[in-house]
Chain A
């Protein structure tokens, strides 16, 4: 459930009237004047003919038209296997005798429940109970935790973490640049990666990880995690270009018989949206709290004090004024990020955080904030699309659940 910011349909982008080429330029010039950061696989993506965009200051592939484009990439992950370069994600190592205490203080989930080799979803919060970022916490060893964080929030997260762990005996080191992170996702991910490693992947449970040899690289982190609502793995290999390219090519070769395709941020966004996985800057932000985002099952209010707890106790007692729901368009139209939501009397009640056609479901879906009285399943609301109010209904989430293994 590694999250990242896809600005493909950011608010300004989807509601502002511009020509399409102005739009494309907008996508690639948000950091104008700054040099975009590149992953070690940048040349590989370009060689594959990927469309590149500026994503949180990173020059990243959005889709690979030569191998079929976004929808094909999405469907490959649902039915076979796809591979993603997610090296732009950040990594923070927290190590030291009080590493656990530090993690418990800065992260809302209960890291004392983690065993070595286990990971969980969590979030870093401000004292207000709103989000600094969401994270995956990995327990690497007794006094050794790895936090995987978003690309666009790397610097912010790192300085926030350093500040907040300073009272504990531990180090917080940004090790994001040391790794090329490749996600191999889909029902055939295990069969693909198994060809390249001596680790018995069938023994790694969901949200667990092991170290082993991958592509002849010893001691490689292999985690059964992802951001696609599908089975899959994320591997962390040295970030030098030759090694990164070699691993990418070997994964490509291993997945060939299963129809593996490289996947960009576009498919990553539609896959995570179908699985109702939060995206920073959309479903979660510094103005949205844990209960509103309906992520309270990852927030352990009963554990000892942590940043944001006091504020969240008040929120819990008072109740929320808005809550995240899943919507499906009933009428013809595609809800997009930032579109307004209305009730049947024409009163504005909320807004869409992420909206898109859902390639696996062949429906137009959205996540939106609405008042709790409008959140029950089946409830009708209206999304305003270019001046027209499109009937939509609240549906159960996640929109997509992967089939159980038979």
Chain B
């Protein structure tokens, strides 16, 4: 699956799509593929503060638990609650199945993250 060019990517396999002051965050296609059947997504509440590089939730497949790491700091202004009912949406289209929407504390914080091409190379090296 192609990695959207307007997203940025973390080494921990999250993506962030920044629009002005806000951003959507999810996990990458590579991450969902590694995890397998996703059965549970645990996300913060609206209003929570998340910090770049720190855990903001967990995603679980049948066989594994994984932490979710925030690509940037900010306040959670929206949570994708539909993932409670249908966590498998992350397997179906990881780049559409956003998890949280952030109001960014400092949008330039994401400058250091990987671009799609770099991330693809990074994943290829991991394999």
Interface residue ranges, A against B (CB under 8 Å) = 8-9, 13-14, 17-21, 23-24, 51, 62-63, 65, 69-71, 266, 269-270, 332-334, 336, 356-357, 359, 386
- Set of chain B residues within 8 Å of A332, measured between Cβ atoms: 40
Q: Is the CB of B69 within 8 A of A386?
A: no
Q: Is the CB of B36 within 8 A of A17?
A: no
**With A266-B63, A356-B62, A357-B62: A20-B39 Cβ-Cβ less than 8 Å:** no
| Closest B residue, CB atoms, query A386 | B58
**With A19-B13, A19-B69, A266-B36: A70-B64 Cβ-Cβ less than 8 Å:** no
Q: Is the CB of B36 within 8 A of A20?
A: no
Give the complex CA separation of A18 and B69 in angstroms. Answer: 10
Give the complex CA separation of A332 and B58 in angstroms. Answer: 13
Give the complex CA separation of A404 and B86 in angstroms. Answer: 33
- Set of chain A residues within 8 Å of B58, measured between Cβ atoms: 386
B65 at the interface (CB under 8 A from A): yes
Cβ contact of B33, chosen from A9, A17, A65, A266, cutoff 8 A: A65
B61 to chain A, nearest CB (A): 8
- Set of chain B residues within 8 Å of A20, measured between Cβ atoms: 12-13, 31, 34-35, 64, 66-67
Q: Is the CB of B67 within 8 A of A334?
A: no
Give the complex CA separation of A21 and B35 in angstroms. Answer: 9
Q: Is the CB of B64 within 8 A of A9?
A: yes
Q: Chain B 26-68, CB within 8 Å of chain A: the 1/0 string?
A: 0000010111110110100000000000010010111111110
**With A69-B37, A334-B40: A21-B13 Cβ-Cβ less than 8 Å:** yes
16 residue pairs bridging A and B, Cβ less than 8 Å apart: A8-B63, A8-B64, A9-B63, A9-B65, A19-B12, A19-B67, A20-B64, A21-B13, A62-B63, A70-B61, A70-B62, A70-B63, A332-B40, A356-B62, A357-B39, A359-B62
| Closest A residue, CB atoms, query B59 | A20
- Set of chain A residues within 8 Å of B6, measured between Cβ atoms: none
B111 at the interface (CB under 8 A from A): no
Give the complex CA separation of A336 and B33 in angstroms. Answer: 21
**With A19-B12, A21-B12, A334-B40: A14-B65 Cβ-Cβ less than 8 Å:** yes
Give the complex CA separation of A24 and B37 in angstroms. Answer: 15
Give the complex CA separation of A20 and B55 in angstroms. Answer: 12
A28 to chain B, nearest CB (A): 11
B30 to chain A, nearest CB (A): 9
- Set of chain A residues within 8 Å of B55, measured between Cβ atoms: 17
Q: Is the CB of A23 within 8 A of B63?
A: no
| 10 closest Cβ pairs, A-B complex | A20-B66, A8-B63, A19-B12, A71-B37, A357-B39, A266-B63, A70-B62, A357-B62, A14-B65, A69-B36
**With A19-B67, A357-B40: A24-B62 Cβ-Cβ less than 8 Å:** no
- Set of chain A residues within 8 Å of B36, measured between Cβ atoms: 51, 63, 65, 69-70, 266
B107 to chain A, nearest CB (A): 24
* Known contacts A332-B40, A356-B62, A357-B40; 14 further A-B pairs (Cβ under 8 A): A9-B63, A9-B64, A17-B55, A19-B67, A19-B69, A20-B35, A20-B67, A24-B34, A51-B36, A63-B63, A70-B37, A70-B61, A336-B65, A357-B39
Give the complex CA separation of A51 and B36 in angstroms. Answer: 10
Q: Is the CB of B60 within 8 A of A21?
A: no
Max chain A C-beta neighbours (<10 A), residue from B55, B61, B126: B61
| Closest A residue, CB atoms, query B65 | A14
Give the complex CA separation of A23 and B42 in angstroms. Answer: 19
B28 to chain A, nearest CB (A): 10
Q: Is the CB of A334 within 8 A of B60?
A: yes
| Closest A residue, CB atoms, query B57 | A386
- Set of chain A residues within 8 Å of B65, measured between Cβ atoms: 9, 14, 334, 336
Give the complex CA separation of A9 and B11 in angstroms. Answer: 23
- Set of chain A residues within 8 Å of B11, measured between Cβ atoms: 19
Give the complex CA separation of A334 and B64 in angstroms. Answer: 10
- Set of chain A residues within 8 Å of B33, measured between Cβ atoms: 65
- Set of chain B residues within 8 Å of A18, measured between Cβ atoms: 67
Max chain A C-beta neighbours (<10 A), residue from B31, B33, B42: B42
Q: Is the CB of A356 within 8 A of B63?
A: yes
Give the complex CA separation of A20 and B64 in angstroms. Answer: 9
Give the complex CA separation of A391 and B62 in angstroms. Answer: 20
